[in-house]
Amino acid sequence: MSSLRTHDDTWDIKTSVGSTAVMVAAARAIESEQPDALIHDPYARLLVNNAGAEIIWEAMLDPEVVAKIEAIDEESAARIHHMRAYQAVRTHFFDAYFADAVAAGIRQIVILASGLDSRAYRLDWPAGTTVYEIDQPQVLEYKSATLAESGASPSADRREVAIDLREDWPAALRAAGFDPAQRTAWLAEGLLMYLPAEAQDKLFTQIGELSPAGSRVSAETAPTHSDERRAQMRERFKKVADEIGIEQTVDVGELMYRDDNRADVAEWLNQHGWRATSQNSLDEMDRVGRRVASVELDDDKDAFSDFVIGERL
């Protein structure tokens, strides 16, 4: 289990789980600026630069910093490149999931724990699409204010649902205009690893209760690194950060819940009224040509997330 989490903890974009959204946005910013970019997120760098979160995430945007890391420890640098590539592939996969959902006529979208997700702004949504974003109030407030100040406007009817997912979010979602009789495409990206196993099951139960036949759900599963591997990675990154003078105040691994009783998401969905399939993230990275070959990989693919897609029967 996580040592930094409590049942009633909260955060803004600078702290705890909220700061991980800045990490993900930094990776999207880097990918968007590559000549062969898988994705295009014109808002990612802006959202990172204005967050005032951990300096280590902004440092990821600086190629000189990454070069310094590579000179100290090639494996740590390779891990950073892997993380960037992984986030690009993950974003690409779920972008395609939404494209398929709207092509099938779905016009109601729910992004759970939306963080600094900018899909409501950057994707080409068909007319009549409503995108609901659920997250902590301070996280949603930061994103909305930052993008509004830049002149950005959403490409769909974007509706904020400012609530913790441990509270009665289905009621808050309905109060924002959500129609439980309408087919919906749900997304749980970068979320399940921050939930204990019981909360994960409850989340998908609640989604099922709000989803008529033909609805879709997609999720990134929680990885399961061994204690030994986690300790090794933590020590390597700490050594590098200390040498180049980067302060790392949050250990992302310690924010995650590690629970041996966590259900396999695809199996759980298949047993609860959905037809689901999964794609291992490493296989997806291979498929789109984004595997970082120099990274020392764990032997078990369970150490890497799966991307799951399910359709309500």
Instruction: Report the pLDDT value the prediction gives residue 67, as an integer from 0 to 100.
Output: 74
**DSSP class of residue 299?**
S
**DSSP class of residue 192?**
G
The domain made up of 17-312 has a fold known as Rossmann fold (3.40.50)
**219 has pLDDT over 90:** yes
The residues pairing with 102 across neighbouring beta strands, listed in sequence order, are none
Instruction: Report the pLDDT value the prediction gives residue 108, as an integer from 0 to 100.
Output: 98
Poorest-pLDDT segment among 17-31, 136-150, 180-194: 17-31
Compute the distance between CA of residue 120 and CA of residue 251 in angstroms, rounded to an integer. Answer: 29
The residue assigned the tokens 């029967």 is: 313
Compute the distance between CA of residue 252 and CA of residue 29 in angstroms, rounded to an integer. Answer: 20
Q: What is the mean pLDDT of residues 11-34?
A: 75
Burial class (CB in 10 A: 0-12, 13-18, 19+), 265: buried
* pLDDT band at residue 68 using 50, 70 and 90 as cut-offs: confident
Instruction: Give the predicted TM-score (pTM) of the model.
Output: 0.87
Instruction: Report the pLDDT value the prediction gives residue 301, as an integer from 0 to 100.
Output: 60
Could you please report the per-residue DSSP string of 143-167?
A: HHHHHHHTT---SSEEEEEE--TTS
CB proximity list for 70: less than 8 A, separation 6 or greater:
77
227-238 pLDDT, tens per residue?
Answer: 666 666 667 666
CB proximity list for 291: less than 8 A, separation 6 or greater:
85, 282, 285
Using CA atoms, how far residue 177 sits from 159, 204, 251, in Å, is: 9, 20, 37
